[in-house]
Amino acid sequence: MIKKAIDYYHELLVKNEYLTTTQQILQEATENRHLAFGKRPVCSVLRPYFIDSNTYQFVNNAAQLVSSGVSLLGQRLLADDILRKELDLTPEEEIIIKFDHKYGAPDVSGRLDGFLSPKGEFNFVEYNAESPGGLAYGDELTDTFNKMPIMQKFSETYSLKTFAIRKKVFETLLLAYKNWGGIGLPNIAIVDWNGVSTYGEFLLSKECFEQNGCKVKIVDPDELEYKNNNLYAEDFRVDLIYKRVIIGELLNKFGLNHPIMEAAKNNDVCIANAFQVQMLYKKSCFALLSDPIYHSIYPKKIVTALLKHIPWTRKVRECKTIYQNNNIDLVEFIVNNQDKLVLKPNGEYGGKGVVLGWESTSEEWKETLKIALSKSYIVQEKVPLGTEVYPSIIDGKLSFDERFLDLDPYVWNGNQIEGCGIRLSKLALLNVTAGGGSATPMFIIDNK
């Protein structure tokens, strides 16, 4: 059904009336609705991602089980100092994860980054628990495509379902605030560095929060001041921080000597996501999900899901381990199997430092391994990527090109799954932050 639906959409698009309006509406939204990542359009393709309800339910169920495993792991990590050493937290991180945020699961909003293969295999390779970007962009893109005549024509043949993600963000933030002890509607600060390329998304979030009755300010961490048991940005009292700044970057610049840290320690401000997500954000968590020696942490149903949906992952170090029921020397295995392995820094984001073995020379791979052994890295087995053909305008002409595709379920309050982010790229490293690719909205479709 999906192939037939895609073919039908593409047939409509080549009709000049639909191509013109589709281009025009997307261009106007890019310019007027903050749909830019820095100076690059967030969406450079002319079609949404289509998924049928059965496949979406499969994806949703897989994400539900894996996120439950992540949640159990987080609880165990907080209580088990020895296990937590596997994460290579800094001394400052060890301190801030102990701050009591009071509202339950620290990952108020998260994103499981996954790939659905042509054979129907679904693998998660990372968990963005820090503060996932792209949610407001994707939501605005959904609204944008819904306004297009081509989608209105398409909906005569197929039923369409989407999710109101910005509303979900607001509702989960408000629930966290109330569970923290807040009363009424909070003053919200969206906190990140001035000049970041995601500023347009902050404007979209600000608009949504204000429409729901809140006062909102986009704030650089340098603008915050902690006084009289309150956090301020100038004369704006901050009740709730929608934290988009990366914790590691904040610690690298200020250490623990920052108003956010002081206010959080004294529980004078509600922060979402909470600092405990720094444990779940580390990529070495996937070694704890993948390696059978840690599977006693999880119920049998979750272990089955982890084995099915988490690729083989290990922390890089000199050791013996297991691969496909065989005992191996890990370093020797990494050297000899670069064509099917990825090396990733434990605490980076946005694709920074990720090296794909099959796209590296032997010398590059060995040099990266040398760095990995001296720092904190994981090695992960390559997963099959899905591809689809997407239309775009190249040099003024309509072009249909194959794109790699990732399918990233959103996680709410630690274990609820609703909606997905979609990223497309002509490169195997799918990351908009890393400088390439495109986002597009997801539509669940079925025959009428």
Q: What is the mean pLDDT of residues 376-382?
A: 95
Q: How far is residue 198's CA from residue 200's CA, in Å, rounded to a whole number?
A: 5
User: Above 60 in pLDDT, residue 125?
Assistant: yes
Q: How far is residue 231's CA from residue 228's CA, in Å, rounded to a whole number?
A: 8
pTM beyond cutoff 0.75 = yes
Q: 89 to each of 127, 284, 289, 348, 376, how far by Cα in Å?
A: 17, 11, 18, 13, 10
Q: What is the mean pLDDT of residues 139-159?
A: 96
Q: What is the mean pLDDT of residues 444-448?
A: 93
Q: Strand 442-447 and strand 49-52: pairing? A: parallel
Domain boundaries, the chain: 2-281+386-447, 312-381
Q: How far is residue 436's CA from residue 429's CA, in Å, rounded to a whole number?
A: 9
Per the model's pLDDT, the better-predicted residue between 40 and 217 turns out to be 217
Q: Does domain 2-281+386-447 have CATH number 3.20.20.10?
A: no
Q: Quote the pLDDT of residue 435.
A: 41
Q: Tell which residue, 360, 10, 341, has the closest CA to residue 154.
A: 10
Q: What is the mean pLDDT of residues 171-176?
A: 96
Q: How far is residue 353's CA from residue 344's CA, in Å, rounded to a whole number?
A: 6
User: Given this structure, which CATH class describes domain 312-381?
Assistant: alpha beta
| DSSP state string for 215-246 | -EEEE-GGGEEEETTEEEETTEEESEEEE-S-
On whether the CB atoms of residues 443 and 159 are closer than 8 A, the answer is no
- Give the pLDDT confidence of 278-293 residue by residue, as tens digits: 999 999 999 999 999 9
Q: What is the mean pLDDT of residues 64-91?
A: 95
Q: With cut-offs at 50, 70 and 90, classify the pLDDT of residue 56.
A: very high
Lowest mean pLDDT across 384-393, 397-406, 422-431? 422-431
Q: What is the mean pLDDT of residues 338-347?
A: 93
